[in-house]
Structure 1
Amino acid sequence: MSNDLTARVRARITPENAALLDVRARAMGKTKSRVINDALSACFTFEHDDARDARILEKLDMMIRHNHRHSRDLNLHSETFALFLHFYFTMAPQISAADTDARAARGVGLMNQFIDQLGVKMRSGGKTFKQALSDVLVSDQDFFRLDEIQLLEKLQKKKVSAPKKKETANV
């Protein structure tokens, strides 16, 4: 493509676009003809379409990855719940016919309590599983104070660096 601007085109544009063209040409240090020519070149070479398509593909890729993570998490939750139900139904004691009404009433009360607790957890962010992991996973800091750990580390270093005494054999 040639850099010579030899063809003349007459076109009409809105006053707003004319003002923007003036500002852009001055800011870039180019003539209005050069700015219009560059804009037409970008339009005909699909430069804008390619940039738009790249942004769309990037967004789709991100959405697909999010969808994959959500599907994995949903499968994990479903399998966990199914395993819990299997365990519960295996271990739940059989109840006699005389106790069914009392157990049913107690079950309704417990179910309502469960739903209330679930609602509270979900309103506060629903991070029960992560909280459960932090409750289960422990480290030395959970059992010792920091100064005690430092003292233990010093004692271990002394133990490693101390020379072993040679035992003399009785002959």
Structure 2
Amino acid sequence: MKPPARIKQTFRLRGDLSRDLADYARRKRVAQGAVVEAALASHLSPDGADRLEAALARRLDRMSRQIERLERHLGISNETLALFIRFWLTAVPPLPDTAQSAAQAKGRERFEGFVETLGRRLAKGRSFADEVTRDLVRSENIAPMADED
């Protein structure tokens, strides 16, 4: 099949636009006419706007799901921290003054261990939120929740 006939067009471009066209065509190693032809075809295509809108909608949907996942993980983190603080404040009795320095030294040692463990988990890509979710799914598959009949 024979390609459609090509018709010569003559038009003028602003100097800066002409330089940009020449630079772009040189970088891409294509003819300037091919760049202009592709740009015109894209601009005049009736479904071009629909394709752009569909692509944007897909991207927005993906971003919405990512934000929802972040909100969920943040909620889990906040709830975990709040439960830990409540437990710690209600379960740990105050120390006498004579035991303060030993407790502080032990606390620093434990904190260093915590930071080390956290670093290893993050390096492996593990997430506590993902672990909690897996544990919940596993426990729901094994036994029904206590308040379900």
TM-score range, shorter chain: 0.5 to 0.7
Distance across 2 between alignment mates of 1:43 and 1:62: 27
* Alignment gaps of 5+ in structure 2: 1-6, 12-21, 23-29, 143-149
Give, in whole Å, the separation in 1 of the partners of 2:48 and 2:117: 52
Identity %: 23
1:85 counterpart SS class: helix
Distance 1:115 1:88, change over 3 A: same
Could you list the structure 1 runs, at least 4 aligned residues long, displaced by more than 4 angstroms after superposition: 39-42, 136-139
Question: 1:16 matched to which residue of 2?
Answer: 31
Q: Against the structure 1 CA distance between its residues 43 and 125, is the aligned structure 2 distance closer, same or farther, given a 3 Å change threshold?
A: closer
Higher relative contact order (CA 8 A, sep 6+): 2
Equivalent position amino acid for 2:67 in 1: N
Deviations 1:44-81 (A, max 9, x none): 46421221122012101210121111111111111111
| TM score, norm. by length of structure 2 | 0.60
Normalising by structure 1, we get a TM-score of: 0.53
CA RMSD, aligned part only? 3.5
1:78 aligned residue: 78
Question: 1:128 Cα shift?
Answer: 4.3
Q: Which residue of 1 aligns with 2:108?
A: 108
| Matched residues, number | 114
Amino acid of the structure 2 residue aligned with 1:99: A
The one-letter code of the counterpart of 2:104 is: A
Change (3 A) 1:57 1:103: same
Amino acid at match of 1:65: R
**SS of aligned partner of 2:31:** helix
Distance 1:96 1:41, change over 3 A: closer
